[in-house]
């Protein structure tokens, strides 16, 4: 049974940190085994849980004991294990589930890339192209389709959980049309069409992504008669004219890709168009450990970066946008409300 402890000394804390991969691997194993889904509302014996997930009881106890040290599952005095607030987030049916995001952050390519972080820091370039001989998303879609599916599910989860916040935050009452650029399966634009019954919407993303767009946006769906779905790459072109453009959590590539995307949106919208950029930031946020870790992962896979308020402001103004306001959408997202000058 795990017990409460005082804070470990620096030497032990450092030992714990260098074993961080063990924690990540344990979380991934628990998700892939379906442990959180099999564990009910009450405590369960390891033997029963092992039978439910088709695992050996002894190594499963070791896995659960390791995770319980981090507050993921709880070992009880009688040797049974129970859910905690964190372990419930690994369940597929939890409304705030982080199951897919936990898988995405521990996909096989990450274990190839992390050991080469020093190389990425020295050069400022991603390591994926040297590892696999292809640009990251090309590699995912051509050589690792299962990982691409995990990415899409993780992004959908993130969008579902933040779409309502974005819709509540944005006042688009002065716009008759909105385009979600790189918007995944369209959860954000669907929430906006629900909020504004007379608004028309558009969604642009890669073919593999929009093929799985929210059914409400498709022909015959709830918003189908007000919706246009476009397959394409916003770094190449944005063939959509709209009053307002939403760009959420995609301006994290290399500087050239970011600049091309913004240029394409500006050209599509023309003078007076509204461009709302929504991003995680690595400053002015309570989620620094997560945001800075994702920042390093972006360096490894696409040579990109999470932004500070200053770096995002600089990229938007360099592109020619006029920033009117910067405000938090929720505890981990900020919105830069911009216009295309006349």
pTM as predicted: 0.82
- For residue 55, the model assigns a pLDDT of 98
Are 247 and 277 spatial neighbours (Cβ–Cβ below 8 Å)? yes
- For residue 160, the model assigns a pLDDT of 82
Q: Is the pLDDT of residue 287 over 80?
A: no
How far, in Å, CA of 100 to CA of 97, rounded?
Answer: 8
When pLDDT is averaged across residues 101-117 and rounded to a whole number, the result is 97
**Percent of the chain having pLDDT more than 90?**
83
When pLDDT is averaged across residues 1-27 and rounded to a whole number, the result is 86
When pLDDT is averaged across residues 11-21 and rounded to a whole number, the result is 96
Note the helical H segments in the chain. 10-18, 20-33, 35-38, 46-53, 57-68, 85-88, 99-104, 108-113, 117-123, 128-132, 136-143, 145-169, 187-195, 207-210, 255-269, 288-301, 309-319
Residue 234 is given by DSSP the state: T
Length of the chain in terms of residues written: 342
């Amino acid at each position: 049974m795990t017990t409460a402890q005082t804070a470990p000394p620096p030497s032990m804390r450092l030992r714990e940190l260098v074993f961080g991969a063990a924690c990540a691997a344990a979380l991934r194993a628990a998700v892939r085994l379906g442990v959180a889904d099999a564990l009910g509302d009450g405590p369960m014996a390891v033997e029963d849980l092992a039978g439910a997930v088709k695992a050996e009881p002894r190594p499963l106890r070791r896995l659960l004991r390791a995770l319980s040290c981090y507050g993921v599952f709880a070992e009880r005095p009688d040797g049974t294990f129970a859910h905690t607030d964190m372990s419930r987030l690994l369940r597929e049916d939890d409304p705030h589930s982080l199951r897919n995001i936990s898988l995405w952050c521990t996909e096989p390519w990450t274990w190839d890339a992390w050991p080469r972080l020093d190389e990425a820091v020295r050069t400022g370039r991603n390591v994926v192209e040297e590892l696999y001989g292809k640009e990251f998303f090309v590699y995912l879609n051509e050589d690792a389709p299962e990982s691409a599916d995990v990415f899409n599910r993780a992004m959908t989860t993130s969008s579902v959980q933040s779409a309502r916040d974005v819709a509540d935050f944005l006042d688009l009452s002065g716009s008759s049309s909105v385009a979600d650029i790189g918007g995944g399966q369209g959860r954000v634009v669907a929430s906006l069409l629900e909020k504004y019954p007379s608004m028309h919407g558009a969604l642009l993303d890669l073919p593999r992504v929009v093929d799985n767009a929210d059914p409400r946006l498709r022909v015959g769906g709830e918003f189908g008669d007000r919706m246009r779905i476009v397959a394409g790459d916003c770094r190449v072109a944005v063939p959509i004219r709209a009053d307002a453009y939403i760009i959420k959590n995609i301006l994290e590539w290399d500087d050239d890709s970011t600049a091309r995307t913004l240029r394409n949106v500006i050209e599509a919208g023309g003078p007076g168009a509204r461009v709302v950029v929504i991003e995680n930031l690595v400053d002015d946020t309570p989620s620094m450990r997560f945001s800075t870790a994702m920042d390093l992962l972006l360096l490894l896979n696409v040579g990109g970066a999470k932004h500070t308020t200053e770096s995002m402001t600089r990229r938007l103004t360099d592109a020619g946008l006029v920033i009117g306001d910067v405000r938090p959408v929720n505890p981990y997202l900020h919105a830069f409300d911009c216009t295309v000058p006349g």
